[in-house]
Chains A and B, each alone.
Chain A
Amino acid sequence: MGKTVLEVKGISKSFYRNKVLDDVSLSISEGQIMGLVGENGAGKSTLMKIIGGIYQPDAGEIYLEGKKVTFSDPLQAMKSGIGIVHQELSLVPNLTIAQNIFSHRERANKLGFIQWGELYKDAKAIFAQMNINIDPSLLVEHLSIGMQQLVEIAKALSLNAKLLILDEPTSALSEKEVDLLNGVLIDLVKKGIAIIFISHKLFEVFRISEVVTVLRDGKLIGSVEPAHGAQYMKLNSVKIEEVINMMVGRHITDLYPPKSSGIGKEIFAVEGLTREPYFKNINFKLRQGEILGFAGLVGSGRTETARAIFGADPLDAGKIYLQGQELSFKSPQEAIKYGICYLTEDRKSLGLFSKMSVRNNIVAAALQKFLSKFFIFKHKEIKKKSKFYVENLQITPFDDEVSVFNLSGGNQQKVLFAKWICSNPKVLIVDEPTRGIDVGAKAEIHSQLRKMAENGVGMIVISSELLEVLGLSDRVAVFSEGRLMALLDGKTATEEEAMKYSTRHVAV
């Protein structure tokens, strides 16, 4: 273990009366990768923002390489060698990679004109440190999210970062990109750079970190050292459970509720659904009480299929049957009328009305139901229904007039569930229901999904977390490159089997 790069002692921070960090101390050494985990609201982001100079702590000290420092603004922290890659990327899409890395510091001649040749050379040099070969004159908007993330890291490196902080770096990455990122991080660490990364994906965190630190309710609970080497999968399962218990403060023995005991008759079926080039010839049936999972890699056509079923996108060909009746939807409005509902993948920009209250969001898809004749709103009923769902789904804070953007990710997702349950669906498709949500809330949402299925709603669950799909579904539809490759039994399917089908190449 090398010398200590960063040490924080006794950091506390409150926002109004909300104590977000309570006497937190930790340290990280050169060349170490630390995973920082905790539920939403545990204080991880706040701690990182304090280290990065975005917030000032109410109490406590920061020591960089043994020397006490105070950062009055992020720029100071950056210049001192602390680089943060935030969850929301902050690159300028229509500028080149090189410009994004060196913004405001471009190589210029005496008259201030940018020396492009030198600029690109500098950019290439930074990427060389990460063992990546890339053309720095490419515009950022043409890069995949994974590559954009690497550009952000390059930016931090260009400022001679001694400590790199990554906030949820892999939430929007494909498997390949995750591997690439991990490779880059390992290379950086070999050069002595310390890395802290925040993530909800415990398996990933365990795979790559030297030490995993857990925060809960603003306090540092403890650290765990993941096992590496031959038996690591088995050993880490135990340690991960330990970490989950630390994060949540209670035992979560079953992340997934028991599967269906009685499956009813068919309520929904699709035949030959096609929309070039996104998906082709999708066929499946859905029965009452059943959860059908859509597994597959990012880009395999699951979301596109769901959107087309919902009427949000047009179909080239195919038939949809609801309770035996053939239907076609030209718009989500029609689909909802028939009882087909879709909870979008991107809840912030496509699902929620951020500025609006919880109440307005909950009734948003069922507005028609609350209109009396002459289309007047029945406000009393709206209020009653809304309070019912807040109570039932335990949406905190228990005030339905609060704006939803104040809610945590888990509660926002509950609001979306309430929205769709409120419209009395016959079939509900949920896309990435637990993305960006912490462990405790995940379990709640899983049990909600199962409850809905038991109430007779046909459930389709799309998720990129294979374990989630397998743990939750009664049957699993595995997608690959726009085709439905296999329908597996949820009780017996294995990860390997599912992976095999989801990576199978389509013979044209």
Chain B
Amino acid sequence: MITNSNDSSDELNVTKGSHGLLVSKKKSFFASREAGLLLVILMAGVLLTFFAPSFLQKKNFISVSIGLAYDLIIALGMTLILIVGGIDLSVGSVLALTGVITTLLLNAHVSIPLAIILGLGSSALAGLITGLGVTRFNIPPFIASLGMMSIARGTATVLTSGYFVTNLPDSYKMIGRGVFLGIPYPIYATVFLVILFAYILKNWGPLAKTFYIGTNAKAAELSGINAKLITLSSYIICSLMAGIAALFQTARLGMGYAQMGQGTELRAIAAALIGGASLAGGGEGSVVGTFLGVVLLAVILNGFILLNVSIYWQGVVNGLILVIVVAVDAIQRAKISKE
């Protein structure tokens, strides 16, 4: 039949990709996608330092980190959704909704813990609804989350009548503005969540199964995996992430408003895709990759700011990066499948 295993495994090397959920082949780190991204980020950083030395200042790093923290928290949830084979366009709107609800409750002198619980509860509820739409009613995830995107954003607008909600208690604002060892709380939370997600996706049964579901939902069900429950949970978690991001953002800004988080969903999806997730079905994605994706986009945005380039170009550049990364990925996949 085919030649002995030594020969075959050389050609088969190219197919070991980012599906390393339960196991990841200890192939050379240097050949991995993550390494490539890291390289690009370092190059960008070096280039940027050359043109704008203030890039390397601690102040700048903190500001960049805060900026990317919210996107990263949401991108983690988005990565999970992409792995399970879905998509969630509503995260930005859910962020706004949670922010609005929490701040309004705080304004109504509800206790901080209760306001937080109710706020997060509303984000989980949004995820539940979207998730039920997908799993129970078989609405395509794109449509279901698009609907929720409008509903959540609309609800937030109605609740605030378009006004900014301010007057938040100082102790609440400390959640976002507090500093420990010179680093703001939100960054600790983000780091914690990144590590948590990375660990969970590889090791925690219920969520590690998402890779199976994303790869082949029917086969997953026939293998005894409760695909519907796990998918539903993923949508809830994703929206919950948006809720968590909303908490930190409203606390730091000291206000909530209905236009929060616009464009977040695209940045989160872009970051996850850059990091190795795939829109063509699921079963692929990596927390480290997503993290690097968010960092890359944040570094570029920072570059714009430091170099005084109009922010409006950010959208163009983000879009270009996304298209280029996905195109290169698609070409590589096509090459692999031809062999």
Whether A105 is near chain B, meaning CB under 8 Å from some CB there, is no
Q: How far is the CA of A353 from the CA of B10 in the complex (A)?
A: 22
Contact at B224–A337, with CB atoms within 8 Å? Answer: yes
Contact at B19–A357, with CB atoms within 8 Å? Answer: yes
B residues in contact with A451, CB < 8 Å: none
Contact at B9–A399, with CB atoms within 8 Å? Answer: yes
Contact at B221–A332, with CB atoms within 8 Å? Answer: yes
Q: How far is the CA of A354 from the CA of B283 in the complex (A)?
A: 10
Shortest beta-carbon distance from B21 to chain A in Å: 7
Q: How far is the CA of A397 from the CA of B13 in the complex (A)?
A: 12
B residues in contact with A405, CB < 8 Å: 15
Q: How far is the CA of A363 from the CA of B5 in the complex (A)?
A: 22
Instruction: Count residues of B near A (Cβ-Cβ below 8 Å).
Output: 42
Whether B157 is near chain A, meaning CB under 8 Å from some CB there, is no
Stretch touching chain A among B59-67, B206-214, B250-258: B206-214
Contact at A333–B226, with CB atoms within 8 Å? Answer: yes
B 3-21 to A, binary, CB cutoff 8 A, 1 in contact else 0: 1110111111001110101
A 338-365 to B, binary, CB cutoff 8 A, 1 in contact else 0: 0000101000011111111101100111
B 108-148 to A, binary, CB cutoff 8 A, 1 in contact else 0: 00000000000000000000000000000000000000000
Whether A493 is near chain B, meaning CB under 8 Å from some CB there, is no
Q: Which residue of B lies closest to A382 (CB)?
A: B22
Q: Which residue of A lies closest to B205 (CB)?
A: A375
Whether B31 is near chain A, meaning CB under 8 Å from some CB there, is no
Q: Which residue of B lies closest to A344 (CB)?
A: B222
B residues in contact with A336, CB < 8 Å: 223-224
Contact at B5–A16, with CB atoms within 8 Å? Answer: no
A residues in contact with B7, CB < 8 Å: 16-18
Contact at A16–B10, with CB atoms within 8 Å? Answer: yes
Q: How far is the CA of A402 from the CA of B339 in the complex (A)?
A: 15
Counting chain A CB atoms within 10 Å of each CB, the highest count among B9, B22, B209, B339 belongs to B22
Contact at B216–A332, with CB atoms within 8 Å? Answer: no
* A354 interface neighbour in B3, B8, B216, Cβ under 8 Å: B216
Instruction: Count residues of A near B (Cβ-Cβ below 8 Å).
Output: 56
Contact at B15–A18, with CB atoms within 8 Å? Answer: no
Contact at A396–B5, with CB atoms within 8 Å? Answer: yes
Q: How far is the CA of A17 from the CA of B9 in the complex (A)?
A: 11
Q: How far is the CA of A397 from the CA of B5 in the complex (A)?
A: 5
Q: A448-498: which have CB < 8 Å to B?
A: none
Contact at A332–B224, with CB atoms within 8 Å? Answer: yes
Contact at B1–A39, with CB atoms within 8 Å? Answer: yes
Shortest beta-carbon distance from A331 to chain B in Å: 8
Whether A46 is near chain B, meaning CB under 8 Å from some CB there, is no
Contact at B223–A419, with CB atoms within 8 Å? Answer: yes
B residues in contact with A403, CB < 8 Å: 12, 15-16, 19
Whether B71 is near chain A, meaning CB under 8 Å from some CB there, is no
Task: Given A376-B205, A397-B5, A406-B12, check contact A365 B223 (CB 8 Å).
Answer: yes
Q: A310-328: which have CB < 8 Å to B?
A: 310, 312
Contact at B225–A333, with CB atoms within 8 Å? Answer: yes
Q: How far is the CA of A377 from the CA of B205 in the complex (A)?
A: 6
Q: How far is the CA of A359 from the CA of B20 in the complex (A)?
A: 11
Shortest beta-carbon distance from A97 to chain B in Å: 30
A residues in contact with B16, CB < 8 Å: 357, 401-403
Q: How far is the CA of A12 from the CA of B17 in the complex (A)?
A: 32
Whether A15 is near chain B, meaning CB under 8 Å from some CB there, is yes
Whether B331 is near chain A, meaning CB under 8 Å from some CB there, is no
- Could you give 17 example pairs across A and B, Cβ below 8 Å? A15-B339, A336-B223, A353-B212, A353-B216, A354-B215, A359-B22, A360-B21, A360-B212, A364-B219, A367-B209, A376-B203, A376-B205, A377-B22, A377-B204, A399-B12, A401-B23, A403-B16
Ranked 6 nearest A-B pairs via Cβ: A397-B5, A336-B224, A375-B205, A365-B223, A41-B1, A353-B215
List the interface of chain B (C-beta within 8 A of A). 1-5, 7-12, 15-17, 19, 21-23, 25, 202-206, 208-209, 211-212, 215-216, 218-226, 283-284, 339
Given contacts A16-B10, A19-B3, 7 further A-B contacts (CB under 8 A): A17-B11, A18-B7, A342-B222, A353-B219, A359-B22, A401-B25, A403-B15
